Amino acid sequence: MSVQRRYTSADLEAMPYVEGLRYEIIDGELHVTTAPSWHHNRAGSQIWRALENWNDETGRGEASEVPGVIFTDDNNVIPDVVWISRARLEGALDAAGHLTVAPDLVVEVLSPGADNERRDRILKMGLYARQGVEEYWLVDPALHIVEVFRHDGRTLELVATLSGDDALTSPLLPGFSCPLRRLW
């Protein structure tokens, strides 16, 4: 019988810094990824910018690019973008400035490869659903689509697949709109 090592926050702290690598733990499993592509970063940055512009107008919350989110000792992730309401943000940061509660919205931009897709589409989505993320946007720069998932009280369910001239909107973000053409 093979016993697989279960990684924790302490293991991440002990790992050497290597520029261009991102370390995440999902249900105790270590995931190491390399620096994302220009297209990946552009899509995430454009969404972050649109969220920040909307926040400047409304004051409803805050958006962050690649924040550390530590749900538990064996669930440490770095989403591409998050948005968190002012109410949730109060008391949500640990001493090091990492989120310790679920953001209202999480955005992940897919990188090529089966392992990356499994991580974002299955492992992270399952984690975000269990932690109470209200909405999850899965951005695919290769196909120029965004899948929108909303929490139904049990899990994150697909509610829309956007493409072409569609725009990102959300009941969480009244008045927010980001045309998909800006992402590519």
Is position 14 within any domain? no
Angle at 132 between CA 36 and CA 152, to 5 degrees: 105
Q: What is the full per-residue pLDDT of the chain (184 aa) written as tens digits?
A: 666 899 999 999 999 999 999 999 999 999 999 999 999 999 999 999 999 999 999 999 999 999 999 999 999 999 999 999 999 999 999 999 999 999 999 999 999 999 999 999 999 999 999 999 999 999 999 999 999 999 999 999 999 999 999 999 999 999 999 999 999 9
Q: What local confidence, expressed as pLDDT, does residue 82 receive? A: 98
Q: What is the CATH number of the domain that holds 115?
A: 3.90.1570.10
Half-sphere exposure of 141 (CA within 13 A, CB side): 22
Dist CA 163 CA 141 (whole Å): 11
User: What total of structural domains would you count in the chain?
Assistant: 1
Query: Residue 11: exposed, middle, or buried by beta-carbon count in 10 A (0-12, 13-18, 19+)?
Result: middle
The residue whose two tokens read 């998932």 is 149
Is position 3 within any domain? no
Is position 141 within any domain? yes
Q: Which of 163, 167, 114, 170 is nearest to 140 (CA)?
A: 163
Is position 26 within any domain? no
Distance in Å from the first CA to the final CA of the chain: 47
pTM of the model: 0.95
Q: What local confidence, expressed as pLDDT, does residue 2 receive? A: 62
Is position 28 within any domain? no
Alpha carbon 121 to chain centroid distance?
11
- Give the domain extent around 149: 36-182
